[in-house]
Amino acid sequence: MPIKTQHDLPAREILENENIFVMDESRAIHQDVRPLQICILNLMPIKQDTELQLLRALSNTPLQVDVTFMKMNSHVSLNTSATHINKFYDTFDRLKDNKYDGMIITGAPVEQISFEEVDYWEELCEIMEWTKSHVTSTLHICWGAQAGLYYHYGLDKEMLPEKLFGVFAHKVANRKIPLVRGFDDYFMAPHSRHTKVSAESIHNCKELTVLAESETAGVFLCMAGEGKHIFVMGHPEYDRVTLHNEYIRDLEKGLPIHVPVNYYPDDDHTKRPNLQWRAHSNGLFTNWLNYYVYQVTPYEL
What DSSP letter does each residue of 263-288 carry, written as one string? Answer: TSGGG-TTSPPP--SHHHHHHHHHHI
Question: Which residue, among 57, 42, 100, 55, has the nearest Cα to 285 in the 3D structure?
Answer: 57
Average pLDDT over residues 81-102: 93
CB atoms within 10 A of CB 125: 15
175 or 157: which leads in pLDDT: 157
What percent of the chain has a predicted confidence (pLDDT) above 70?
90
Question: pLDDT category, 1, cuts 50, 70, 90?
Answer: very low
Average pLDDT over residues 14-41: 66
Average pLDDT over residues 215-234: 96
Which of the following is catalytic: 51, 213, 237, 246?
237
Which of the following is catalytic: 140, 152, 229, 235?
235
Residues 6+ apart with CB under 8 A from 272: 240, 265
Q: Is 191 a catalytic residue?
A: no
Q: Are 146 and 177 in contact (CB under 8 A)?
A: no
CB atoms within 10 A of CB 60: 15
Alpha-carbon distance of 155 to 208, in angstroms, equals 11
Torsion angle, alpha carbons of 47, 223, 234, 140, to 10 = 10
Question: pLDDT category, 262, cuts 50, 70, 90?
Answer: very high
Alpha-carbon distance of 7 to 25, in angstroms, equals 7
Least confident of 42-46, 80-84, 224-228, 277-281: 80-84
Question: pLDDT category, 30, cuts 50, 70, 90?
Answer: very low
CB atoms within 10 A of CB 252: 8
Q: Are 58 and 3 in contact (CB under 8 A)?
A: yes
Identify the sign of the CA torsion 104, 110, 111, 117. Answer: negative
Average pLDDT over residues 49-59: 93
For residue 6, pLDDT beyond 70: no
What three-state secondary structure class fits 89? strand
Average pLDDT over residues 212-227: 96
pLDDT tens-digit readout, 113-169: 999 999 999 999 999 999 999 999 999 999 999 999 999 999 999 999 999 999 999
Q: How high is the pLDDT of residue 79?
A: 66
Q: How high is the pLDDT of residue 31?
A: 45
Question: What's the whole-number average pLDDT of the chain?
Answer: 90
Q: Is 122 a catalytic residue?
A: no
Least confident of 21-35, 152-166, 215-229: 21-35
CB-side neighbour CA atoms (13 Å) of 243: 33
Which of the following is catalytic: 39, 142, 205, 222?
142
Alpha-carbon distance of 288 to 173, in angstroms, equals 16
For residue 32, pLDDT beyond 60: no
Q: How high is the pLDDT of residue 80?
A: 77
Question: pLDDT category, 298, cuts 50, 70, 90?
Answer: confident
